Chain A
Amino acid sequence: MLFKGFSAILTVLAGIGVALVLYWILNKIVEFLPGKWEDRIKPYAYIAPAFLAITLYLIYPAIRTVFLSFKNDDSTKFVGTKNYTDLLKSHDFQQTLYNTLLWILIVPAATIVLGLAVGILADHLRPGSEKASKTIIFLPMAISAVGAATVWRFVYAYSPPGQPQIGLLNAIWTAFGRQPIPWLATSTLHFNSILLMVMMLWMQIGFSMVLLSAAIKGVPTETLEAARIDGANERQIFGRVILPQIKGTIVTVFVTVTIGVMKIFDIVYVMTNGNFNTNVIGVDFFNQLFTNINNGAAASIVVMLTVAVIPIMIYQVRHFRAEEAAR
């Protein structure tokens, strides 16, 4: 153990040393060039190692993944689009897509609405209580998703009737003289998926609240006063004065949460592992790769996911540029 720790420290030190030497050498080489060229080349000399690293660790694997998605389970022969058609035809995968869609439809919107609500309500509190309430709501952000999911498993835990209910929800439920309910196994109307989303919201609202509340505070008071003088009521002020001015922040939060939700894995994996019709794309990918050892299917799932995420990212970048231009 001691040796392992020592070797880890040594590795890090050696790594930093080698990298320093590398940049020093690159710098020296460039300095040999005639003055004008030195200035032209130098930025590239500094960016090149990082760029190469990104190419090697990000772009190359991405291209390889696309290749593998057209190959069979152990990547030994090409099977064309079979992986895609098999998946899209399978009832289970259709349900998985449907569940993921539910997440995308519900979670980002709910995060915005609740974050906004908390932000506005907290704005009306005294400074001390505003800080306290915001801190409490922001707190779950600091917990790892796996840890939080493990805790929430206990919230939803079930024991047969007659046994002590260790689950918070069932403890409350049975206190009213009702039979305990296996919450996470109740897939009627995707109720269990919604319970998982509640947990996601619990983690995410702090994030949306902080950004949106800052945006609301950033709205110039002159505009609010001008609206009041013109005789607008509070609702009109919110809808026509505040909202348009914080739209940029709303879009940013919405896009960030949407991308996060499309890739959602840890919460579902820990709480149900996709059982009881709660499967989502991220969990299906993991199980295809590590349980089924089917490289082809796993690759085609992430390729589909990437294709779905790209338009949202393009929108986000465009929106960001438009905002910058307007400023």
Chain B
Amino acid sequence: MRGSRRFKVAAAAGTVALLLAACSSSSTGTSTGGGSSTSGGSSNFGGATINVWSSMDQPIIDGLSAKLDPEAKALGINVKWTKVDNINQIIATKVQANAAPDIAMVPQPGVIQQLKAHVTPLDNVLDVAALKQSYIPGVLDTSTFDGKLYGILVSANLKGLIFYPKKIWDAKGYTVPTTIDELNTLTDKIKSDGITPWCAGIESGTGTGWPATDWLENLVMRYGGIQTYNDWISHKVKFDSPIVTQAGNEMAKLLFTSGNVPGGRTAIASTSFQTAGTPMFQPKPGCLLYQQGSFITAFFPKDIQADLPSNVGVFGMPPATAGGDNPVEGGGDTAAIFKDSPAARAVMKLLAATDLGSIAAGNGSSFLSPHKDFPLTDYKSVLTQQYAKVAYAATAFGFDASDAMPGTVGSGSFWKQMTTWVSGSEDLSSALKAIDGSWPSG
């Protein structure tokens, strides 16, 4: 009798203990943030600590911190870098909990827009006119909301780059197209040489569909120009509009035409974006052109990666008309002040400097500076130099639309409807109408 009672007490206690443990473990995470201004230190900021959160790759953080930390130290500021995965979600909760870091770099400017009541405008902090000259045109627009600048792009990446296997390309004597029409001609020429022209794959696990949105975005930007593109992001231009339809039709012409991709249209939705480019490097290439972002080289076969400059060539998707608007699509990490202080503003000024990336560009990271006056020779990697050439020659920088649109569309219906359309179970017009229908009201 006594024994069984004791057992019951222990069992009941265990249940409650588990519940308590579940409660308390969720609160342990919050203890990190905050905590500025400690004693000691030199100069005018007296050793203030500024927390900088980002989700950039560690080599980039290392490169930037190697350059920035000594400069901040000279001002009496200790910069504490923290790598935070899925910062887009975390920053919103931290702001609500009043535990935001001083500065955070977020990959989706839409998040800054949502939280802009808690973000310090930079118009009086930075020399905006000078920055406009220094950045690729349009970079500041991606983080300007209601006429105020809320953040600056620190590290960029590019989309809409077209990769090709260099050895075969050179052997066949192909030339880089300068207009979309020439891209069509090149496609036909490769096909008549007996090679499947395009590699394509939009499968990405639960993110399936995003590579297709990149395709459409790049074409919309080129046909419509940057203004139309930005209006499309804010839904002033509908998905079911002539420009977007034109872009979709061109994409269909390049990729869905019989014999243009390995396995045909139905294969695209089931082929992983990571391996879709691999057939380029076969002795008899399975396909020749692959449109992707600057990060894709990391997924190329190991022996190709060992010597990228002699194996891989790259050009930016050409403009609609020769010499016309030549925008470039990209993304990146945008820094914004979430906890205002003079020291945070001082760090922001350092983050806006052109030479911020001079170490990161040379340490083997994938860092790409959004400053068009950044010296190309600072990039250690030949391929990154080529990306930079494409980026700095652009007439405008458009932020990845699916990252800038509301999540319901940007990572929801846009991905899903593009997948349905690409797989051939829906036509373009119904896909575009369905995305319009999913746009959040109000």
Instruction: Kindly state whether residue A160 has any CB partner on chain B within 8 Å.
Output: yes
- Which one, B43-51, B167-175, B204-212, B357-365, is touching chain A? B204-212
Q: CB within 8 A of A160: which of B208, B267, B419, B420?
A: B267
Instruction: Kindly state whether residue A23 has any CB partner on chain B within 8 Å.
Output: yes
Q: Taking the nearest CB of chain A, how far is it from the CB of B96, in angstroms? A: 12
Say yes or no: A185-B20 contact (C-beta < 8 A), given A160-B263, A161-B262.
no
Q: Taking the nearest CB of chain A, how far is it from the CB of B199, in angstroms? A: 9
- Which one, B56-64, B390-398, B408-416, is touching chain A? B408-416
Q: Taking the nearest CB of chain B, how far is it from the CB of A151, in angstroms? A: 14
Say yes or no: A273-B28 contact (C-beta < 8 A), given A12-B21, A20-B13, A23-B12.
no
Instruction: Kindly state whether residue A293 has any CB partner on chain B within 8 Å.
Output: yes
Instruction: Kindly state whether residue B279 has any CB partner on chain A within 8 Å.
Output: yes
CA distance A319 to B403 in the complex (A): 52
Q: Taking the nearest CB of chain A, how far is it from the CB of B2, in angstroms? A: 12
Q: Is the CB of A19 within 8 A of B270?
A: no
Instruction: Kindly state whether residue B39 has any CB partner on chain A within 8 Å.
Output: no
Q: Is the CB of B17 within 8 A of A19?
A: yes
Q: Taking the nearest CB of chain B, how far is it from the CB of A219, in angstroms? A: 36
Q: Is the CB of B8 within 8 A of A46?
A: yes
Q: Is the CB of A15 within 8 A of B16?
A: yes
CA distance A161 to B263 in the complex (A): 6
CA distance A270 to B15 in the complex (A): 32
Q: Which residues of A contact B411 (CB under 8 A)?
A: 291
Q: Is the CB of B267 within 8 A of A18?
A: no
Q: Which residues of B contact A16 (CB under 8 A)?
A: 13-14, 17
Q: Which residues of B contact A4 (CB under 8 A)?
A: 28
Closest residue of chain A to B25 (Cβ to Cβ) is: A11
Say yes or no: A158-B425 contact (C-beta < 8 A), given A19-B20, A53-B16.
no
Instruction: Kindly state whether residue B286 has any CB partner on chain A within 8 Å.
Output: yes
CA distance A4 to B269 in the complex (A): 42
Q: Which residues 22-37 in B have Cβ within 8 Å of A in the complex?
A: 24-25, 28
Q: Taking the nearest CB of chain B, how far is it from the CB of A14, in angstroms? A: 8
CA distance A277 to B18 in the complex (A): 40
Q: Is the CB of B279 within 8 A of A160?
A: yes
Q: Is the CB of B12 within 8 A of A184?
A: no
Say yes or no: A19-B12 contact (C-beta < 8 A), given A180-B263, A276-B419.
yes
Closest residue of chain A to B9 (Cβ to Cβ) is: A23
Q: Which residues 247-300 in B have Cβ within 8 Å of A in the complex?
A: 261-263, 266-267, 269-271, 275, 278-279, 286
Q: Is the CB of B408 within 8 A of A292?
A: yes
Q: Which residues of B contact A49 (CB under 8 A)?
A: 12, 16
Closest residue of chain A to B408 (Cβ to Cβ) is: A292
Say yes or no: A24-B12 contact (C-beta < 8 A), given A18-B20, A182-B266, A276-B269.
no
Q: CB within 8 A of B24: which of A15, A46, A162, A291?
A: A15
Closest residue of chain B to A73 (Cβ to Cβ) is: B440
Q: CB within 8 A of A182: which of B12, B270, B278?
A: B270
Q: Which residues of A contact B275 (CB under 8 A)?
A: 159
Q: Taking the nearest CB of chain B, how far is it from the CB of A60, in angstroms? A: 14
Instruction: Kindly state whether residue A7 has any CB partner on chain B within 8 Å.
Output: yes
Q: Taking the nearest CB of chain A, how far is it from the CB of B110, in angstroms? A: 12
Instruction: Kindly state whether residue A187 has any CB partner on chain B within 8 Å.
Output: yes
Instruction: Kindly state whether residue A322 has any CB partner on chain B within 8 Å.
Output: no
Q: Is the CB of B262 within 8 A of A163?
A: yes
Q: Is the CB of B279 within 8 A of A163?
A: yes
CA distance A160 to B17 in the complex (A): 54
Q: Which residues of B contact A307 (CB under 8 A)?
A: none
Q: Which residues of A contact B14 (CB under 8 A)?
A: 16, 19
Closest residue of chain A to B410 (Cβ to Cβ) is: A291
Say yes or no: A8-B12 contact (C-beta < 8 A), given A275-B419, A276-B425, A294-B408.
no
CA distance A152 to B411 in the complex (A): 25
Q: Which residues 1-55 in A have Cβ within 8 Å of B in the complex?
A: 4, 7-8, 11-12, 14-16, 18-20, 22-24, 27, 46, 49-50, 53
Interface contacts beyond A19-B16, A182-B266: sample of 14 additional A-B pairs, CB < 8 Å, sorted by A: A7-B28, A19-B12, A19-B15, A20-B9, A50-B16, A73-B440, A158-B267, A160-B271, A161-B262, A163-B279, A270-B205, A276-B423, A277-B425, A287-B412
Residues of B in contact with A (beta carbons under 8 Å apart): 8-10, 12-21, 24-25, 28, 205-206, 208-209, 261-263, 266-267, 269-271, 275, 278-279, 286, 407-408, 411-412, 416, 419-420, 423, 425, 434, 440
Jot down 29 A-B pairs with beta carbons below 8 A, ordered by A.
Answer: A7-B28, A11-B24, A11-B25, A15-B20, A16-B17, A19-B15, A19-B17, A22-B13, A22-B16, A50-B12, A53-B15, A57-B19, A160-B261, A160-B262, A162-B279, A182-B269, A185-B266, A185-B423, A270-B205, A272-B208, A273-B208, A275-B208, A275-B423, A276-B425, A291-B407, A291-B411, A291-B412, A292-B407, A292-B412
Question: Which 8 A-B pairs give the minimum distances between C-beta atoms?
Answer: A160-B263, A160-B262, A182-B270, A15-B17, A19-B16, A19-B13, A15-B20, A16-B17
